[in-house]
Chains A and B, each alone.
Chain A
């Protein structure tokens, strides 16, 4: 940064002495003069930084500054160096016809541009940037996080512009607005805020804009980093932004009146505001027939409750409420537990920790070792644990069912949140039985009642209650019946469509 500041200071001193004309329409921007020596000093200790000087009779001396590893060398030669060598006019804009030729207003801006793949041109006492970033993009692939059998198979990549293209292809409307922010003092990450102007609540857009602009961090490498700086409740275990790598999900969120962020170098878009119930929805819900989709959604909610409560319930029953178990079943429970030296709490805690260790290990270890992990986890720990009387058969079944049930929750962040709640409930179950579990549940509900996402109620449409939004919450009713956008979003245009359907396309 210092090199550019020095350079600009020099240019300011030199301005007016060479008799160059003021650029029209840029009053207030001081004229600058390039200094080859200070330019070279600025790039010291950056091995792939290059400085090229080109002399031309008409244009004078032009100095190019760029980072070789970040730019497309072929384009540099073709669109910048060759035109400069053969320039016939005195104005750079007449010489270089690059789409991204921009005059820089400040050294900070020029520095950022250089490190984002632009060539800085110092010519005629002015600073210019030409975006020639080399393309380092992987292909658009099917989503790995939210895979569907039917429906669109494309997903976001790390290239923010490509991601924007994927959304614009779905929402080809001028009302889809995009605002660009640079976030992170060191990373200068590009963040694009998207919303549909004609239908999104302006208050939501204002809050989103303010929150994005207020992010103070040296580096943002992932959309989840960004979301943590924008959350309303930083201590909550519940995710307040939905992350998706599916363009159709992001486009659907925009069309319903939500706000979407695309973050550079992240294949996950952020969606807000969201509700607790949104985290149980899958893009496939809108592809299935509505009774099937509703059933599957119900199964997901049931699985979430199962994953949270099954083991704490087992502990509460076996430690405090044996009287609740019918006699035949009680014999099974007693027989299963008869040789276990620990009380159910320690038994369950141990097995739950083992399960979490296995899950973490399966995420971190190379995929080829996955089979080994399956054998070690499933057979060795499970079977040996029972034979060594560390855990009962019954608990192993509970743990297995809990593990499978937790995978039904479509949102990965929510799956992890439920684990933490499960451990809390386990403690309360061991201490106070079912009363303790209920207390824990009530505390979670109170927490959800007060939670907000982008200042909108997180537990809507239950609290506050919005009757019309229940068409797409626990069940998914026919799309034809969902003429209204979610009411909790207070959209500027509450209706998705009016009765009568869409207009036929004009053929003239």
Chain B
């Protein structure tokens, strides 16, 4: 490598993601799905502490994840997992892994389509936009994991500005600071067994980085970047929660769906109002990125499960993954996501699935790597 080049530049030159991209991955993976409806789950002002406390827990979890990403096994990709778990186990685990990816991505996508249908196209079918979303995601996935990963910068720039629109709701005359009371609860109300896992699930998403560690340039300080992304997510969730709480108050908040979308309707510009018409399409960039990312994960999982991980990649694997993905999303949306209770059930499924994966995967992999190292080094 040439003199004067920084670590990030060396990474990009070698066809890798620089470590500094880690914070963008963490942040966008965390906020993509829950940012629109988390405030509706939290309801009570003192739940702001739930965001902070769970954010701290997530911080420690990311330390485990960064630890795993530093290991030799993580940097070897598939061969590293084979070394860790054995080939048979690695292939066997790829099947539930693929199922989890499918389920996760299907729920995320369908929820976005549901909101879009509800707010923008109430007269059109809910799944009308699915083929277009799929084509865009497939186009991105077709560029390969390296370029699809780089797209996170564009996804970030294309969606982060939305948060800035909500800052005005933190100040009077819209903000009613009395809605923030009691900021400390004498006796917590609400279903904590639902709320805390939901906040935890809202910070999930970075667990998928465990499988793409080899794509990052081997620079130090990975945890620092992951932690930065997590801190930014906590900040964003706090901002959105405060904005809707100060504007609507708990009582009204419990009566409305998607308070974030509802709140933005109050912004009036000289030329435009009803800015949710812009917000929801703008949010799509995150879903295109996520879906492309998930399709590529699915492709890799299918290849591992089929024992073709060591063979050269072929476009048919991507097509197979993409078709399987869109078929799965369509079937769920068409037959199992037709009523509001079903909708709520799927959200709950996502909360537990994504939360569990985020809680267990980094620690499982880090522990397995430590055990293997101890076994290898001997007593």
Q: Which residues of B contact A495 (CB under 8 A)?
A: 4
B366 at the interface (CB under 8 A from A): no
Q: Find chain A residues with CB under 8 A from B285 CB.
A: 438, 442, 445
Chain A interface size, under 10 / 10 to 19 / 20 to 34 / 35 or more: 35 or more
Q: Which of B102-110, B148-156, B317-325 lies at the interface with chain A?
A: B148-156
Residues 67-120 (chain B) with a chain A CB within 8 angstroms? 116, 120
Question: Given known contacts A326-B268, A435-B116, A465-B153, is B132 in contact with A494 (CB within 8 Å)?
Answer: no
> Which residue, of A325, A433, A462, A465, has the highest number of chain B Cβ atoms within 10 A?
A465
Contact of A466 with B278 in the complex, beta carbons under 8 Å: no
State whether A438 and B143 are in contact (beta carbons under 8 Å apart), knowing that A463-B151, A494-B3 are contacts in the complex: no
Do B4 and A494 have beta carbons less than 8 Å apart?
A: yes
**B347 on the interface (CB 8 Å rule)?**
no
State the CA gap A433–B140 with chains docked (Å): 22
State whether A326 touches B271 (Cβ < 8 A): yes
Assess whether A110 is interfacial by the CB under 8 Å rule: no
What chain B residues lie within 8 Å of A326 (beta carbons)? 268, 270-273
Across the interface, do A329 and B271 meet the contact criterion of CB distance under 8 Å? yes
Q: Which residues of A contact B151 (CB under 8 A)?
A: 445-446, 449, 463
Known: A323-B274, A433-B120, A446-B139. A463 touches B154 (CB 8 A): yes
B176: interface (CB < 8 Å): no
User: Does A139 count as interface, using CB distance less than 8 angstroms?
Assistant: no
Smallest CB separation, B313 vs chain A (Å) = 17
How would you classify the secondary structure of chain B's contact residues: helix, strand, loop or mixed?
A: helix
A419-462 interface mask toward B, CB cutoff 8 Å, 1 = contact, 0 = none? 00000000000001111011100110111011000000101001
A445 touches B282 (CB 8 A): no
Q: Is the pair B136, A438 in contact by a Cβ cutoff of 8 Å?
A: no
Q: Are A443 and B139 touching (Cβ within 8 A)?
A: yes
> Is A321 among interface residues, defined by CB-CB distance under 8 A?
yes
On chain B, the residues within 8 Å of A434 by CB distance are 277-278, 281
What's the minimum C-beta distance from B274 to chain A, rounded to whole angstroms? 5
Q: In the complex, A447 Cα to B140 Cα: how many Å? A: 8
Answer yes or no: A370 CB below 8 A from chain B CBs.
no
Other-chain contact of A494, B2, B143, B270, B275 (Cβ < 8 Å): B2
List A contacts of B278 (CB < 8 A): 434
CA distance A409 to B258 in the complex (A): 41
Output the least CB separation between B3 and chain A (Å).
Answer: 7
Q: Judging by beta carbons under 8 Å apart, are A490 and B13 in contact?
A: yes
Whose C-beta in chain B lies nearest to the C-beta of A465? B153
> How many Å lie between the Cα of A192 and that of B18 in the bound state?
36
Nearest residue in B to A495 (C-beta to C-beta)?
B4
**Complex partner residue of B150 from A463, A468, A492, A494, CB under 8 angstroms:** A463
CB distance from B219 to the nearest CB of A (A): 14
By the criterion CB–CB under 8 Å, are A323 and B5 in contact? no
* A494-B1 Cα distance, complex, nearest whole Å: 12
Q: Is B167 in the interface zone, CB < 8 Å from A?
A: no
Given A321-B274, A435-B129: A446 in contact with B281 (beta carbons within 8 A): no
CB-based contact A449/B147 at 8 Å: yes
The interface residues of chain B lying within 8 Å CB-to-CB of A46 are: none
CB distance from A33 to the nearest CB of B (A): 55
Nearest CB to that of A437 among chain B residues? B281
0/1 string, A209-232, CB within 8 A of B gives 1 = 000000000000000000000000
For A324, the chain B residues whose CB sits under 8 A away are 272-275, 277
Cα(A484)–Cα(B18), bound, Å: 19
Q: Which of A321, A459, A464, A466 has the most CB of B within 10 A?
A: A464
CB A235 to nearest CB in B, in angstroms, measures 13
Q: Given the complex, which residues of B lie within 8 Å of A446, measured CB to CB? A: 136, 139-140, 143, 151, 288
Contact partners of B3 in chain A: CB under 8 A: 494
Q: What is the CB-to-nearest-CB distance from A460 to chain B, in angstroms, rounded to a whole number?
A: 8
Question: Contact at B157–A462, with CB atoms within 8 Å?
Answer: yes
Contact among A325, A439, A462 with B272 in the assembled complex (CB-CB below 8 Å)? A325
**Which residues A294-347 have CB closer than 8 A to chain B?**
321, 323-326, 329
The reply to whether B5 and A487 form a contact with Cβ atoms under 8 Å apart is yes
Residues from chain A with Cβ under 8 Å of B116 in the complex: 435
Whole-angstrom distance between the alpha carbons of A487 and B11 in the complex?
Answer: 12
CA distance A185 to B13 in the complex (A): 37
Q: Per a CB cutoff under 8 Å, which of A329, A445, A467 touches B154?
A: A445
The chain A residue sitting closest to B140, CB to CB, is: A446
Let me know if B5 and A494 touch, CB within 8 A.
Answer: yes
Are the C-beta atoms of B132 and A439 separated by less than 8 Å? yes
Query: What separation, in Å, do the CA atoms of A466 and B21 have in the docked complex?
Result: 11
**Across-interface contacts of A442 in B (CB, < 8 A):** 136, 158, 284-285, 288
Which of B8, B12, B158, B268 meets A445, CB within 8 Å? Answer: B158
Q: A321-B277, A442-B284, A490-B5 are in contact. List 6 more A-B contacts (CB 8 A).
A: A438-B281, A442-B285, A445-B151, A449-B151, A463-B150, A490-B9
Of the A-B pairs whose beta carbons lie under 8 Å apart in the complex, a sample of 23, sorted by A's number, is A321-B277, A323-B274, A434-B281, A435-B281, A438-B282, A439-B281, A442-B158, A445-B158, A446-B140, A446-B143, A449-B151, A450-B143, A463-B154, A464-B153, A466-B8, A484-B4, A487-B6, A491-B2, A492-B2, A493-B4, A494-B2, A494-B4, A495-B4
Chain A interfacial positions (CB closer than 8 Å to B) = 321, 323-326, 329, 432-435, 437-439, 442-443, 445-447, 449-450, 457, 459, 462-468, 484, 487-488, 490-495
